[in-house]
Amino acid sequence: MSVTTVSEDSDLIKLNNNNNSTNSTNSSTTNDKPKPCCVCPDTKKERDECIFKYGDEVKCKDLIKAHKACMRSYGFNW
């Protein structure tokens, strides 16, 4: 956030009102999509436990695929 010196109080109020409307718009667009850490907890847990137990992604391939499919259903495509 940049700091601007304003000579009149009315200009400062306008500046603050503009910042508030921008912040509320940005916060609503970022809250539309859930965080990747919060979706698919069951498939994530099973995948992680398999990888920790076997230390091999090949043995856990089906669980990894299931978790990726779940994540894609929430819009996470990587």
For the annotated binding site, the residues are 37-38
Q: Is 33 exposed, middle or buried (0-12, 13-18, 19+ CB in 10 A)?
A: exposed
Token pair for 1? 């956030």
Per the annotation, binding residues for Cu cation are 37-38
For the chain, what's the residue count? 78
The pair of three-digit structure tokens given for residue 74, joined into one six-digit string: 């929430």
